Amino acid sequence: MRIDGRFWLTNDGQSFLGAGRIELLEKIDQTGSINAAAKEIKMSYKAAWERINGMNAIAEQPLIERLTGGRGGGGTKLTPYARELIATFHRLGDLHRQFIDRFSEAGNDPERLARILSRTFLTTSARNQFPAVLKEIQKNGLHTTLTLALQGDDVLFSIITAKSVENMGLEIGCDSYAIIKSSDIKIFTNPPASNTTDNILTGIIESLESEGDNLEIALRLNGGTLLIALEKQDTLQKFQTGMTVFAVISPLHIIIGL
């Protein structure tokens, strides 16, 4: 049994944007046609129009623009406002998923859920802050290797001092956070050497965003976690959305939070 929750955006108390409506807008953006978009998502043209009109009636600005005549014979395109709404929806959806995942750590244990709810929400400057369960503690002199289970089957290894383990009261089964700076994640298109002691996580690139000298890569791991990595802008030509890549993270760069 898992805690779950649907994500919707409302405006003036009315249902405005959900996953289905966002998919329709994205298909219109890709195809340039309401009719073609409706066919791709197995929806009638009439139902698609009704959905768009419903969104337009609630939205603060129009979501689509009709193109007439010209070389392409007309069509439909999204307004800048609609594209901004789509980006906002996806970002808030990721945060909502993280929120639900935090509660889902409890499974069907109400007491564990109560402990999770009583924890102070962690705020740091790091882009990656993942709920994790501590599965193993292996001491080696002054340092300790922690095995952390993220959602799905993804696992991370973190190396911290034995004193930190003691001071934080860490024990097997406790809830924690794996905190990783985006600049400490390296992305490769080919599998790294198997004899490395670094963490190697596999996932699919969801988005690429470049600004100045930096390239931000949003990577959806196999287990569902969204990882944000920061690379140099000149590596952009190596990557594309939908590509399977490998994220490499040193255990020394994974901070533990409670």
Average pLDDT, rounded, for the chain: 85
- The answer to whether residues 62 and 125 belong to one domain is no
Token readout for 81 is 């406002």
- The answer to whether residues 69 and 39 belong to one domain is yes
> What's the N-to-C CA distance of the chain in angstroms?
24
Query: Is 1 among the domain residues?
Result: no
83 Cβ neighbours under 8 A, 6+ residues apart: 29
Q: What is the CATH number of the domain that holds 64?
A: 1.10.10.10
Query: Is 3 among the domain residues?
Result: no
- The answer to whether residues 87 and 139 belong to one domain is no
Domain end, chosen from 37, 67, 99, is at: 99
Lowest mean pLDDT among 23-32, 52-61, 103-112, 176-185: 103-112
Q: What is the CATH number of the domain that holds 209?
A: 2.40.50.100
Q: How many separate domains does the chain show?
A: 3
Q: Partners of 8 in the beta sheet?
A: none
Lowest mean pLDDT among 166-170, 219-223, 238-242: 166-170
Domain end, chosen from 154, 178, 202, is at: 178
Mean per-residue pLDDT, 62-75: 67
198 Cβ neighbours under 8 A, 6+ residues apart: 192, 248, 249, 250, 251
Mean per-residue pLDDT, 159-173: 89
Domain of residue 194 covers 182-249
- Helices 80-104 and 110-118: angle between axes, nearest 10 degrees: 120
Convert the pLDDT of each residue in 123-158 to its tens digit: 667 788 888 899 999 998 899 999 999 888 899 999
Measure the CA–CA gap between 178 and 185, rounded to whole angstroms: 13
- The answer to whether residues 216 and 173 belong to one domain is no
Q: What is the pLDDT of residue 172?
A: 92
Convert the pLDDT of each residue in 202-228 to its tens digit: 999 999 988 888 899 999 998 888 999
Mean per-residue pLDDT, 85-102: 84
Lowest mean pLDDT among 60-74, 124-138, 159-173: 60-74
Convert the pLDDT of each residue in 100-117 to its tens digit: 776 776 667 777 666 666
This prediction has a pTM of 0.55
Q: What is the pLDDT of residue 73?
A: 44
- The answer to whether residues 27 and 41 belong to one domain is yes
Domain end, chosen from 99, 118, 143, is at: 99
More confident residue, 71 or 188: 188
Is residue 24 within 8 A of residue 37, CB to CB? The reply is: yes
